[in-house]
Amino acid sequence: MRTTLLALALMVSLGAPASQAQIGLQPGSGFHTVLSSAMRYTMNYEQKFALLAAAEHYVQELQRPPNPGSNLSRTNPGGGMQAGGAVSQQIIKSDYLLVQLGMDGEGWMPFRDTYEVKGRKLRNRDDRLLKLFTANDRGRFDKAAQYTSDATKHNLGNVARTINIPLLGMMLLHPRVNERFEFTDGGEENIGGRILRKAVYREAARPTLIKTTRGRDLALTGTIWIDPFSGTVMKTEMNAADPVVRCQVTVTFRRDEALDLFVPERMEEYYKASLGLDDILATATYTNFRKVLRSDLEPEK
């Protein structure tokens, strides 16, 4: 039986009210300065493009934990234990697009247009998703949403992957939403020879940004790794868990010299239901980044 997970519904507006929360900044060791720098970095980031396109290579696996067996006895101490491991794998190639919703911090909307599954071509790769927005097609959002909906049919497992947005973890630093969270100093960590400062966060405001399909609050927790000298966000980890469902999304960034921009390089996902048999693991890698400025867009047709 396939694992069933509750879907996570992300609130579209990044301007959700957060009057109940305050940023829990810890003084000392320059943490306040580093965090403030990262918040400014996030604000500046959204000014650098209207559209950010990439090629996505998405590997998904259903993995089954070891089964302890059902016939444990003195004469059969192993109990018929069955080894765990990968149950099935899906390899998906898609055009991925992040669309800037406005210049005042409304956030980004992600779209995915799959063109190949397990080596089988579904269509010609013609940049049709990107062209919808560069040409300002009047029905661009509806058409792009349909492409994205079609792409989800190839996912393994019964889980709605609605928080696997590469830039979402970074956007939690934006002034429109950062007051929902308490940030504390997680110390330093050496990643790839670079000393980064960790900002550990938890969502304190209610209602939460994320909801289960039954409308229950699902508070976010996680860590953001920040370059202390520039405020650049180098890595994000986002967790959402309750007694029924648990998920984790981790994103690492790299510098794209051609774009003069740090872009998502790798996104790792983990999903688990308390009553589910299988774990769902996925890794998406991103290449061939292209950005489009607002001034390059055609008038709406």
Domain ranges of the chain: 20-66+84-293
Burial 67-91 (b: 16+ CB within 10 A, else e): eeeeeeeeeeeeeeeeeeeebeebe
Pick from 90, 97, 106, 200: nearest CA to 153? 90
Two tokens at 283? 């890794």
Q: 20-66+84-293 in CATH: which number?
A: 2.50.20
Whether pLDDT at 274 is above 90: no
Section 15-27 average pLDDT: 41
Please tell me the predicted confidence (pLDDT) of residue 63.
86
Closest CA to 97 of 122, 134, 44, 60: 134
Q: Does residue 28 carry a pLDDT above 80?
A: no
Taking residues 166-172, report their average pLDDT: 94
C-alpha distance from residue 196 to each of 139, 221, 252 (Å): 43, 19, 13
Start-to-end CA distance of the chain, whole Å, equals 48
- Is the C-alpha dihedral spanning 291, 293, 299, 300 positive or negative? positive
Query: Average of pLDDT values for 288-293?
Result: 96
pTM score, two decimals?
Answer: 0.84
Residue 59 has pLDDT above 80, yes or no: yes
